Every structure is written in structure tokens, then in C-alpha cells.
């Protein structure tokens, strides 16, 4: 069975992890610092903070942005639930911004309307769906005018570029960008995430929140009497200065991610080659079309999504997926719109309020896309799909 996505591990990755296992430092050690420095250098940000997952990173970012009871986080309906859940974790409200059907990213026009009609929006979370960067110059300007902080959900987009050529994660139009190191993403750490920022205050706060709210770097102590003896800092002393979390990542994971980062350009180049072959194969098929056609040279190409008119085919998506599976091809759907989930329905949301997202979801099917998908395997996928849509 050809899966829709999978990681790639080679002997360099195995040796990198083995070195950490033999080093005596499995967590809170030098591999964490090394990964953070490498990610910052790669994307062009001043700072990076590695955490236990992208979800953890989004949660911390929402805390730093000041999302709390009485304030609102806005994001796309077409995303994994973590993008929205970050707002609920902090006690805030969540609102959704419909997508642009051409990009499957947050629609700037819809965002502008919601920002003008709503008050209390503290954070805007655009999602770079499938690795295609949102129009961050416009989104950033709209959010700034509304006094809202921008947190880029770049779970799909490590290695992607904006239309102007800068790397996603440089935070040119945002305060923070959050990446995922899940195995099916651009590079794998097993689990993990990274937050980038150019703001030193934000960086320091993220470091504290990642580790129980305990002071880090050269943060001054608040209790001067307890922290010193005869003018000397007590070597055992530390302070929990605010309520934080245990969102640390291990050196084992960071060693793997750092080794993978050295291969990211090869990973993305192969994904781009596969996407181009898919695009050409499906260009003239009446009942299906690529969900995204623009930005192919800049995208991180996490997913390849077809929009299929199942009604015109007279076949349900389930039947279509089952037929492909019989032909050895695994597929997936990204994503069920977040407002459609029972928890969000109970909060008063409905997918019907976002017609472009709803229509996209009804047609979406993700095909296999990963670094070591062979040409023969891809030909098998194309042939299986073509047989069902022609």
C-alpha cells in the first residue's frame, strides 16, 4: 500500500540519534540549542524556541499574544484543530475566516471584513495550507491596523518561501511562526515543533513558558532576599515567575531534526518534482483539478490535494478511496472544517457559515506525496486516479 505520506530516515539520522544516546545528555542539552540556532539561520529569524509539538508552540504563542477570556483568536476553517484549539486553551473565543478557493489559505478579503466588524481580536493565525504561504504582507497589515498579533501556523511550510522570496519563518509580517516536526512534515523529529520570532521579549517569555514558567537566561530574580546569601546568588535557587507548561523537547528528537534539516532542500526539490508531474497528469481531466495551482516554486509541498467532483462522477468519496485502496493507493482528506467538529458546533459554530471551505472539503482528496515516492509508484497513483475519473 502506498501511503499518503511518510518520513524518510537514513544512516546519518540514525548516527545522529545514537551520538546523543551515548552522550549522557538526553534532554535540555546542546542538541536543543543547536537545532534552534540552525532553524533561525535557515529561515532568517533572530530567535527560535524548540518545543514538544507544533500544538504546544501554538498554545504558547496564543499565551504570549494575550489571548484570554474576553478576547478572540481568528484562524482558517481548513486546518488541523490545533490552530483553533490554541485560542480555547487560553480561555479565549475562536472565530473563523473563510478561505480563498484558489489557494485554500485564509482569504484576506474575509479577514478584512471580520476585523472591521468584530472587537477584541487579539491574534490572527493564518495557516500556510499544504506548504503554500498565505499573503502575509496583506494579512500582516490588516492585523496591525486592528492591533492584533499575527501567529503564522507553518506546520506545513518549513522550507517554503513567501512570494517575495523570503523564507517562511523569518517573521517579516508576524510576531511568531510555528513549525511542526511531525514525521509526515518536511523534516521529522518523531514529535516536536519550533517557534521563530524576531522579538527578544517574546523569545524570553517563550523560553520561560516552555519550562514551567521558571526564569531563564539572565532573567532577574524577583525575590532578592531568597535568591542570595551575603550578596552571592544561591546556586540552588530558581523561580517560577509565571504559570508555564512542560513543553520541552528532548535532545534525542532535536538530533534527529537537525540531521534531517541538512537534507531539507533535497526533500523539497523531490516533492516539487512529484507535484509537477501530478499537475501535468491531471491538468486536462474534467472531473478533477489540483486544489492549488499558484506558488508552486515557493511552496513547501507538504500535501498534494485534488478537488474531485464526486457528484458528477456518480461515486461517493468513500467509494473512490476504497477503489484506490484496492489498487494499492492510500489517500486522506485534509481537513474536516474545524467548525464542523462536535465541540465547535457546541460553541455555536457551523461549517455552513464558510461556503468556500465547505465546498472545498466536499471535493478534497490528498494523494501520496513524500520524498522517496518512486516514479513507478507515482505512475501507479496517477493511473489509478485516471481510471476512476475518465
The CATH number of the domain holding residue 375 is 3.90.1150.10
Give buried/exposed letters for 299-324 (b at 16+ CB in 10 A, else e): bbbbbbbbbbebeebebebeebbeeb
Task: Provide the domain count of the chain.
Answer: 2
Where does a domain end: 233, 261, 289? 261
Instruction: Give per-10-residue mean pLDDT for the chain (390 aa).
Output: 97 98 95 98 98 98 98 98 98 98 98 95 98 98 98 98 97 98 97 98 98 94 94 94 97 98 98 98 93 97 97 95 98 98 98 98 98 98 95
Q: Categorise residue 311: left if φ over 0, alpha if ψ from -120 to 50, beta otherwise.
A: alpha
CATH number at residue 63: 3.40.640.10
Same domain membership, residue 31 and residue 42:
yes
Same domain as 248, residue 269: no
- Domain co-membership, 284 together with 200: no
CA 78 – CA 129 distance, rounded (Å): 8
Helix, strand, coil in percent for the chain, rounding step 5: 40, 15, 40
pLDDT given for residue 390 in this prediction? 82
Question: Hey, what's the cell of 170?
Answer: 523569518
Check whether residue 253 and residue 327 sit in a common domain.
Answer: no
Instruction: Tell me if 4 is assigned to some domain.
Output: no
Sheet of 176-180: strand order equals: 47-51, 193-197, 176-180, 149-153, 121-125, 72-75, 93-96
- Cis peptide, bond prior to residue 336, ω within 30 of zero: no
Task: Evaluate whether residue 57 is within a structural domain.
Answer: yes
Are 149 and 177 found together in one domain? yes
Same domain, 221 and 287: no
* One domain, residues 86 and 229: yes
Mark which of 196, 228, 261 sits at the end of a domain: 261
Q: What pLDDT, on the 0 to 100 scale, is given for residue 299? A: 98
Say whether both 178 and 62 belong to one domain: yes
* CA distance linking residue 148 with residue 67, whole number of Å: 10
Structural domain includes residue 75: yes
Judge if 72 and 190 occupy the same domain: yes
- Alpha-carbon span 307 to 21, nearest angstrom: 45
Q: Are 211 and 268 in a shared domain?
A: no
Q: Is residue 190 part of a domain?
A: yes
Is 63 domain-assigned?
yes
Residues in the chain: 390
**What is the pLDDT at residue 286?**
85
334 inside domain: yes
Looking at residue 20, its pLDDT comes to 97
Please report the pLDDT score of residue 345 as a whole number.
98
Domain boundary among 201, 230, 261: 261
Q: Which pLDDT score, from 0 to 100, does residue 329 have?
A: 98
CB 44 within 8 A of CB 166: yes
Verdict on whether the full-model pTM lies above 0.85: yes
> Is 295:132 a contact under the CB 8 Å cutoff?
yes
**Torsion sign, CA atoms 314, 342, 156, 26:** negative
- Clarify whether residues 281 and 247 are in a common domain: no
Q: Is residue 3 one of the residues assigned to a domain?
A: no
Q: Which residues on adjacent β-strands are paired with residue 106?
A: 99
The range of the structural domain enclosing residue 191 comes to: 11-261
Residue 6 lies in a domain: no
CA-closest candidate to residue 25, choices 252, 211, 247, 189: 252
Rg value, the chain, Cα = 22
User: Which are the contacts of 314, defined by CB distance < 8 A and separation ≥ 6?
Assistant: none
Of 148, 26, 128, 139, residue with least CA distance to 78: 128
Q: Indicate if 291 and 230 belong to the same structural domain.
A: no
Amino acid at each position: 500500500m502506498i501511503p499518503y505520506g511518510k518520513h524518510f530516515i537514513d544512516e546519518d539520522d540514525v548516527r545522529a540519534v545514537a551520538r546523543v544516546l551515548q552522550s549522557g545528555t538526553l534532554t535540555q542539552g546542546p542538541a536543543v540549542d543547536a537545532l534552534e540556532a540552525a532553524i533561525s539561520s535557515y529561515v532568517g529569524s533572530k530567535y527560535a524556541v524548540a518545543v514538544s509539538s507544533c500544538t504546544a508552540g501554538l498554545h504558547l504563542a496564543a499565551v504570549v499574544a494575550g489571548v484570554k477570556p474576553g478576547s478572540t483568536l481568528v484562524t482558517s476553517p481548513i486546518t488541523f484543530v490545533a490552530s483553533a484549539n490554541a485560542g480555547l486553551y487560553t480561555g479565549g473565543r475562536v472565530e473563523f475566516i473563510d478561505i480563498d478557493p484558489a489557494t485554500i489559505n485564509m482569504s484576506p478579503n474575509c479577514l478584512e471584513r471580520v476585523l472591521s466588524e468584530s472587537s477584541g481580536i487579539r491574534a490572527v493565525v493564518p495557516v500556510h495550507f499544504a506548504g503554500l504561504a498565505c499573503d502575509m504582507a496583506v494579512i500582516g497589515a490588516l492585523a496591525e491596523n486592528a492591533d492584533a498579533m499575527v501567529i503564522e501556523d507553518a506546520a506545513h511550510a518549513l522550507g517554503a518561501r513567501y512570494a517575495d522570496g523570503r523564507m517562511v519563518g523569518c517573521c517579516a509580517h508576524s510576531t511568531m511562526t510555528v513549525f511542526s516536526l511531525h514525521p509526515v512534515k518536511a523534516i521529522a523529529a518523531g514529535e516536536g515543533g519550533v517557534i521563530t520570532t524576531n522579538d527578544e521579549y517574546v523569545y524570553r517569555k517563550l523560553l520561560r513558558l516552555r519550562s514551567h514558567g521558571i526564569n531563564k537566561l539572565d532573567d532577574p530574580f524577583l525575590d532578592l532576599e531568597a535568591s542570595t546569601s551575603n550578596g552571592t546568588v544561591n546556586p540552588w535557587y530558581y523561580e517560577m515567575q509565571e504559570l508555564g507548561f512542560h513543553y520541552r523537547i528532548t535532545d534525542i528528537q532535536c538530533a534527529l531534526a537537525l540531521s534531517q534539516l541538512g537534507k531539507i532542500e533535497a526533500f523539497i526539490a523531490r516533492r516539487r518534482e512529484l507535484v509537477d508531474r501530478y499537475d501535468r497528469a491531471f491538468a486536462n481531466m474534467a472531473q478533477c483539478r489540483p486544489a492549488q495551482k499558484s506558488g508552486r516554486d515557493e511552496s513547501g509541498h507538504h500535501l498534494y490535494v485534488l478537488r474531485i467532483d464526486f457528484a458528477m462522477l456518480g461515486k461517493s468519496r468513500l467509494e473512490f478511496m476504497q477503489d484506490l485502496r484496492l489498487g494499492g493507493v492510500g489517500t486522506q482528506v485534509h481537513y474536516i472544517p474545524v467548525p464542523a467538529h462536535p465541540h465547535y458546533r457546541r460553541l455555536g459554530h457551523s461549517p455552513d457559515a464558510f461556503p468556500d471551505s465547505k465546498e472545498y472539503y466536499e471535493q478534497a482528496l490528498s494523494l501520496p506525496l513524500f520524498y522517496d515516492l518512486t516514479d513507478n509508484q507515482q505512475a501507479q497513483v496517477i493511473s489509478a486516479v485516471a481510471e476512476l475519473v475518465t
